[in-house]
């Protein structure tokens, strides 16, 4: 056997997926704890050994592709002018490239904000602001702020192109590392994030990997081609659209509940389904990703305390759940012991409730909303964001979901709710689980073998 | 090129005049950012900020212009674009009212130029050239 190997250097585990290109099946998967602190290759070698032990028939590797979210993933700052416009466009570029947006600045940055930004552990800054031909003064101001504090991470300039000459003069002859790409919002409400996304990926491959000590792996197994969340987004997009004559699944949602964050990916236009609804706001990306940093099973568990009241929390327990949960204590424990694994029924049920909240709240934030506006001519409806009521498939991935016997029940939280009537949530989608944890791997595989990646996803997601 | 934001405010769907205004201003050397019908005050303001517009031309045809335009100037000031010229035109109030009186009310609300029914966009071109140049 000469399998193609997909590697995901995750924050906790390094995961391997071996695919047989000729017979078109997944030979096996293996994992071992990620070892960024010492040498990432240790974890990789260990996982590789597991794979070989389980599948002695593997004689040679046909090729390798890898992605990574190790060492905190890719952290970015998004800077723009108006919150709903260029700031939002900048955020979407970062998220679409698989980053976590850890800092957001609107309008003119103050010195204090600039200092705060420098202190944050950010990998790349995306500087936007103004449509082409529009406002220059703000992005120029912010460029000066970044120069003055001498930021030591790459800056991608993706704003009003008219300001580029002046910004270049500001950055020239400094030690700043900067790149100019196309404006993320060249015209009002027009989203244009591809160049920015490509530049982010390029910097990620060239440097971030290096800075996070993962480059040793790159030397041995080849380039780490993208951040893991981007691989998941690519997989979702392929599964939705299909490839050549092989049809896809249509509009879909992927929910990835992790220890620290919950990612939601949707593929679909999300246009209003009813004619009396008027679409507002910035254009939505066809493949959209949002990340909730305060929704997670472990590290972020404590944040739930301030997000949902005890009363609300209890509603997420199953009706037949007779355990006597101490909500505060259980949440605190999980955020302290991030490798906590539930052993008792109590603990399992509690984890399920957390997962349900992560799912419910992350979907609330991701989906479009309808707002009723009372006008002199009666009520009118404005939609911001995507209408996802017609979504056909919801796919769950990430530690809790793939291992939980009640995963489908957890994912039922995506559905329309009577107390959230104005949210454009799915109505009755089919639910699939990424039981073999292959989505990121399939996103990687799709870069070279899209047809096979699609076939395997259809087979292995259930 | 000077940028102007145009659009129809409130729950108003009268789209024809808006297209004509877009056409006329574009042909006369302005960079027109057209936010279309059913636009809120915030839509106008956000558009003007990002595009660095020097004038906002609000249309209202369906009679509820006065209500829709209330506090727009204050919001512009709040958003840091108090210097941007504010024009309004169309059928901005219900029925036939004394135009001088209507104009006074809109001026008081902070609009720089007010156009009554029957006044065409060509009338405003002169004023626009005078106010922001070409
Ligand atoms: C076509 C039309 C409709 C169509 C609109 C279709 C569409 N999507 O465009 C429909 C049937 C949907 C419609 C609906 C209604 N309409 Co109607 N409609 C008209 C009509 C017959 C023509 C409008 C038009 O297209 N004119 C042609 C364009 C080129 O002219 P314009 O719109 O006036 O724009 C020019 C000027 O006004 C000026 N201008 C406009 N804005 C600005 C801004 C500045 C700064 C400047 C300088 C100049 C300027 O320049 C423009 C270009 O030259 C007018 C009557 C009329 N003859 O004007 C009524 C009229 C505008 N409608 C009217 C009404 C009341 C309504 C409704 C409320 C009726 C109802 N009860 O349901 C609804 C409102 C719907 C809504 N939510 O907006 C009234 C408004 C009365 C008022 N203001 O006191 C009018 C005047 C009819 C009337 N005499 O009663 N309408």
Instruction: Report the percent of chain B where pLDDT is more than 70.
Output: 100
pLDDT of residue A36: 74
B14 assigned to active site: yes
Domain regions of chain A by residue span: 3-71+208-245+439-460, 74-202, 246-433
Asked whether the predicted pLDDT for residue A212 surpasses 70, the reply is no
B12 assigned to active site: yes
ipTM here: 0.82
Rounding to the nearest 10 degrees, give the CA dihedral for residues A134, A136, A142, A148: 170
pLDDT of residue A200: 93
Task: Compare A209 and A393 and report the one with higher pLDDT.
Answer: A393
The alpha carbon of B26 and the centre of ligand 1 are apart by a number of angstroms equal to: 22
Q: Looking at ligand 1, which atom is closest to the CA of residue B88?
A: 45
pLDDT of residue A108: 96
Q: Characterize A356-392 residue by residue with b for buried, 16 or more Cβ atoms within 10 angstroms of its Cβ, and e for exposed.
A: bbbbbbbbbebbbbbeeeebeeeebebbebbbbbebe
pLDDT digits (tens, 9 = 90+) for A146-157: 999 999 999 999
**A234, HSE (Cβ side, Cα atoms, 13 Å):** 24
Retrieve residue B99's tokens: 């135009």
pLDDT digits (tens, 9 = 90+) for A225-242: 888 999 999 999 999 999
| B94 within ligand 1 shell (Cβ under 6 A) | yes
Which residue, judged by its Cα, is nearest atom 15 of ligand 1? B62
Q: Looking at ligand 1, which atom is closest to the CA of residue B117?
A: 37
Asked whether the predicted pLDDT for residue B130 surpasses 80, the reply is yes
pLDDT of residue A418: 86
Contact A188 B50 (CB under 8 A): yes
Cα–Cα distance between B4 and B32 in angstroms, integer? Answer: 5
Which residues in chain B (59-88) have CB-CB distances under 8 A to chain A? Answer: 62-64, 67, 80
Instruction: Report the percent of chain A where pLDDT is more than 70.
Output: 98
Contact B50 A373 (CB under 8 A): no
Retrieve residue A111's tokens: 């010195």
Asked whether the predicted pLDDT for residue A306 surpasses 90, the reply is no
Q: Name the band, by pLDDT with cuts 50, 70 and 90, for residue A211.
A: low
- In angstroms, the separation between the Cα of residue A45 and the nearest Cα of chain B is 51
Contact A373 B11 (CB under 8 A): yes
Please state which of the ranges A214-223, A368-377, A400-409, A429-438 shows the lowest mean pLDDT. Answer: A214-223
Average pLDDT over residues A261-283: 90
Counted residue by residue, chain A has a size of: 462
Q: Looking at ligand 1, which atom is closest to the CA of residue B11?
A: 77
What is the set of domains in chain B, with CATH numbers? 78-134 (3.40.50.280)
Average pLDDT over residues A339-347: 89
pLDDT digits (tens, 9 = 90+) for A404-413: 888 999 999 9
- Give chain A positions within 8 Å (CB) of B63: 376
The alpha carbon of B14 and the centre of ligand 1 are apart by a number of angstroms equal to: 5
| B92 within ligand 1 shell (Cβ under 6 A) | no
Asked whether A100 and A91 are in contact (CB, 8 A), the reply is no
Average pLDDT over residues A312-334: 89
Q: Looking at ligand 1, which atom is closest to the CA of residue B17?
A: 34
Class of domain A3-71+208-245+439-460: alpha beta
| B95 within ligand 1 shell (Cβ under 6 A) | yes
Q: Name the band, by pLDDT with cuts 50, 70 and 90, for residue A338.
A: confident
CA-CA-CA-CA torsion sign (B78, B83, B89, B95): positive
Which residues in chain B (11-40) have CB-CB distances under 8 A to chain A? Answer: 11, 31, 33, 35, 38
The alpha carbon of B48 and the centre of ligand 1 are apart by a number of angstroms equal to: 25
pLDDT digits (tens, 9 = 90+) for A12-47: 788 999 999 999 999 999 998 888 777 788 888 999
DSSP state of A284: P
Contact B3 A133 (CB under 8 A): yes
Q: For ligand 1, pick from B55, B62, B86 the residue to mutate: most ligand atoms within 8 Å of CB.
A: B62
Asked whether the predicted pLDDT for residue A213 surpasses 80, the reply is no
Contact B11 A188 (CB under 8 A): no
Asked whether the predicted pLDDT for residue A210 surpasses 80, the reply is no
Inter-CA distances, A261 with A330, A389, A419, Å:
18, 24, 25
- In angstroms, the separation between the Cα of residue B46 and the nearest Cα of chain A is 7
- DSSP element (H, E) containing A452: helix A450-460
Asked whether the predicted pLDDT for residue B75 surpasses 70, the reply is yes
pLDDT of residue A339: 83
- In angstroms, the separation between the Cα of residue B11 and the nearest Cα of chain A is 6
Q: Name the band, by pLDDT with cuts 50, 70 and 90, for residue A137.
A: very high
Retrieve residue A317's tokens: 């327990």
**A417, HSE (Cβ side, Cα atoms, 13 Å):** 13
Average pLDDT over residues A348-359: 94
Asked whether the predicted pLDDT for residue A324 surpasses 90, the reply is no
Contact A131 B50 (CB under 8 A): yes
| B65 within ligand 1 shell (Cβ under 6 A) | no
**A398, HSE (Cβ side, Cα atoms, 13 Å):** 28
The alpha carbon of A119 and the centre of ligand 1 are apart by a number of angstroms equal to: 55
pLDDT digits (tens, 9 = 90+) for A59-118: 888 889 999 887 777 899 999 999 989 999 999 999 888 888 889 999 999 999 999 999
- In angstroms, the separation between the Cα of residue B119 and the nearest Cα of chain A is 24
pLDDT digits (tens, 9 = 90+) for B2-18: 999 999 999 899 999 99
pLDDT of residue A329: 92
Average pLDDT over residues A165-180: 96
Interface check A81 vs B, CB under 8 A:
yes
Contacts of residue A384, Cβ cutoff 8 Å, sequence gap at least 6: A279, A280, A281, A368, A369, A371
- Give chain A positions within 8 Å (CB) of B31: 133
pLDDT digits (tens, 9 = 90+) for A325-336: 889 999 999 988
pLDDT of residue A373: 83
Retrieve residue A371's tokens: 């707002």
Retrieve residue A248's tokens: 């896809």
Q: Which one of 3.40.50.720, 3.40.50.261, 3.20.20.70, 3.60.21.10 gives the CATH number of domain A74-202?
A: 3.40.50.261
Q: Looking at ligand 1, which atom is closest to the CA of residue B94?
A: 84
Asked whether the predicted pLDDT for residue A343 surpasses 80, the reply is yes
| B91 within ligand 1 shell (Cβ under 6 A) | yes
Average pLDDT over residues B97-126: 93
């Amino acid at each position: 056997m000469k399998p193609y190997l997909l590697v995901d250097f995750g924050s906790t585990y390094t995961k391997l997926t071996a695919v047989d290109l000729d017979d078109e099946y997944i030979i096996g998967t293996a994992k071992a704890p990620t070892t960024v602190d010492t040498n990432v290759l240790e974890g990789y070698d260990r996982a590789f050994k597991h794979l070989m032990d389980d599948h002695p028939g593997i004689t040679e590797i046909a090729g390798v592709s890898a992605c990574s979210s190790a060492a905190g993933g890719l952290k970015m700052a998004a800077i723009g002018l108006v919150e709903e416009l260029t700031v939002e466009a900048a955020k979407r570029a970062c998220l679409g490239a698989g980053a976590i947006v850890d800092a957001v600045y609107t309008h003119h940055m103050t010195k204090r904000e600039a200092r705060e930004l420098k202190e944050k552990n950010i990998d790349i800054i995306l500087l936007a602001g103004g449509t082409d031909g529009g406002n220059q003064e703000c992005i120029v101001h912010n460029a000066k702020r970044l120069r003055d504090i001498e930021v030591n991470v790459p800056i991608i300039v993706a704003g009003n192109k008219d300001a580029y000459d002046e910004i270049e003069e500001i950055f020239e002859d400094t030690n700043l590392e900067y790149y100019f790409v196309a404006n993320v919002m060249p015209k009002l409400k027009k989203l244009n994030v591809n160049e920015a996304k490509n530049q982010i990926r390029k910097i990620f491959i060239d440097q971030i990997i290096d800075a996070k000590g993962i480059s040793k792996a790159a030397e041995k197994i080849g380039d780490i081609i993208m951040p893991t969340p981007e691989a998941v987004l690519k997989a979702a997009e392929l599964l939705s659209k299909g490839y050549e004559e092989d049809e896809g699944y249509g509009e879909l949602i992927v929910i990835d509940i992790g220890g620290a964050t919950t990612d939601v990916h949707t593929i679909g236009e999300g246009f209003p389904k009813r004619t009396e609804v008027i679409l507002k706001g910035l254009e939505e990306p066809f493949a959209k990703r949002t990340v909730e940093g305060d929704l997670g099973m472990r590290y972020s568990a404590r944040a739930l305390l301030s997000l949902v009241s005890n009363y609300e929390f209890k509603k997420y327990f199953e009706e037949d759940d007779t355990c006597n949960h101490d909500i505060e204590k259980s949440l605190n424990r999980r955020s302290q012991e991030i490798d906590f694994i539930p052993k008792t029924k109590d603990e399992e049920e509690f984890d399920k409730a957390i997962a349900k909240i992560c799912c419910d709240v992350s979907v609330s934030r991701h989906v479009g909303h309808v707002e009723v506006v009372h006008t002199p001519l009666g009520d009118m409806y404005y939609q911001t964001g995507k209408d996802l009521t017609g979504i056909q498939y919801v796919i769950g991935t990430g530690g809790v979901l793939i291992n939980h016997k009640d995963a489908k029940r957890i994912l039922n939280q995506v559905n329309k709710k009577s107390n959230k009537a104005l949210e454009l949530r799915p109505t009755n989608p089919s639910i699939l689980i990424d039981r073999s944890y292959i989505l990121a791997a399939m996103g990687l595989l799709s870069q070279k073998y899209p047809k096979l990646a699609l076939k395997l996803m259809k087979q292995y997601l259930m | 090129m000077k940028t102007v934001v145009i659009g129809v405010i409130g729950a108003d769907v009268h789209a024809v005049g808006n297209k004509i205004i877009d056409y006329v201003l574009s042909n006369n050397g302005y960079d027109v950012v057209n936010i279309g019908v059913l636009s809120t005050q915030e839509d106008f303001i956000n558009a003007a900020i990002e595009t660095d517009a020097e004038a906002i031309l609000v249309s209202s045809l369906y009679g509820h212009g006065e209500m829709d335009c209330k506090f727009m100037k204050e919001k512009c000031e709040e958003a840091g674009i108090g210097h941007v010229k504010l024009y309004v035109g169309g059928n901005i109030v219900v029925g036939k009212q004394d135009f001088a009186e209507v104009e006074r009310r809109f001026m008081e609300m902070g609009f720089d130029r007010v156009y009554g029914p029957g006044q065409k966009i060509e009338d405003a071109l002169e004023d626009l050239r005078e106010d922001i140049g070409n």
